[in-house]
Amino acid sequence: MIEIKDIYKTFGDNDVLKGISATFQTGKNNLIIGGSGSGKTTLLKCIVGLHEPTKGDVFFEEENFTDMDFEQRVPIRTQIGMLFQNSALFDSMTVEENIMFPLNLFTKQTKAEKLDRANFCLERVNLAGKNKLFPAELSGGMKKRVGIARAISMQPKYLFVDEPNSGLDPKTSILIDELIDELTKEYEITTVVVTHDMNSVMGIGDNIIFLHQGQKWWEGSNKEIAHTDNKELNDFVFASKFMQAAKSKL
């Protein structure tokens, strides 16, 4: 379980986050949604400590992560898997080396075991056999999927994914959603997904947080989101004609 309490983040005079509190339950898909530039990535980075929050605290299982120094954070960090919005693959390494990198540093596995794990992860994201390619040789969507494979290679207890489906076709997109959902339920992972893909919201949104004007504007499940009367959320979710049509059938 991850708890965030009253997170503020300011860049210069740009107040991006203004007091966000939330609880992310274990074994649940926690979604953060919101318009472009609403601070979703910023919030994610505050949670994992890549940005220091201007104010507020983050707790991993009751432990105050914000107060820890680098060394104290390492045991928690090795249990974190993260997909960055732009994938952030190591471009001097092949796909396989990318996925095996944390295993090399933090496990005592043999070469064969690590390779097995890499192949398994690649299979899960539908990229079996792409082991020897370099990031520069991948499409945007493939990079995303390698990023996911790398994020899950250490069997993380906490999984953070920033827009896992952007740049993916609808079919692969659903596959990735299902993968995230499966892992979360099967391994009891605390998962936080940043997305603006409405299919994901409806498909796997156990708990959804809607960011608007730097605040947690709304929180609820995918069952509730269809019937909300929150105006801003409605405008956001049902912006497309397709979603409006879908709503009338709900």
Ligand X SMILES: Nc1ncnc2c1ncn2[C@@H]1O[C@H](COP(=O)(O)OP(=O)(O)OP(=O)(O)O)[C@@H](O)[C@H]1O
Give the residues lining the site for other proteins (CB under 8 A). Answer: 45, 48, 50, 70, 73-75, 77-78, 80, 82, 84, 86, 88-91, 101-102, 104-106, 154
Please return the burial class of 42, using the count of CB atoms within 10 Å of its CB with bins 0-12, 13-18 and 19+.
buried
* Alpha-carbon gap, residue 6 to 240, rounded angstroms: 32
* Residue 34 touches which member of other proteins, ligand X, Mg ion, none, C-beta under 5-8 Å by kind: ligand X
Q: Does 135 bind ligand X (CB under 6 A)?
A: no
Which of 230, 229, 219, 176 shows the shortest CA–CA distance to 199? 176
Number of Cβ within 10 Å of residue 164's Cβ equals: 25
The mark string for 35-64 relative to ligand X (x by CB under 6 A, - otherwise) is: -xxxxxxx----------------------
Number of Cβ within 10 Å of residue 86's Cβ equals: 14
Nearer to other proteins, 75 or 129 (CB): 75
* Residue 138 touches which member of other proteins, Mg ion, ligand X, none, C-beta under 5-8 Å by kind: none
Closest approach, Cβ 228 to other proteins, in A, equals: 33
* Alpha-carbon gap, residue 183 to 155, rounded angstroms: 9
Q: Does 41 bind Mg ion (CB under 5 A)?
A: yes
Containing 43, the helix (H) or strand (E) segment is: helix 40-48
Closest approach, Cβ 223 to Mg ion, in A, equals: 26
For ligand X, the binding residues (CB under 6 A) are 11, 14, 16, 34, 36-42, 85
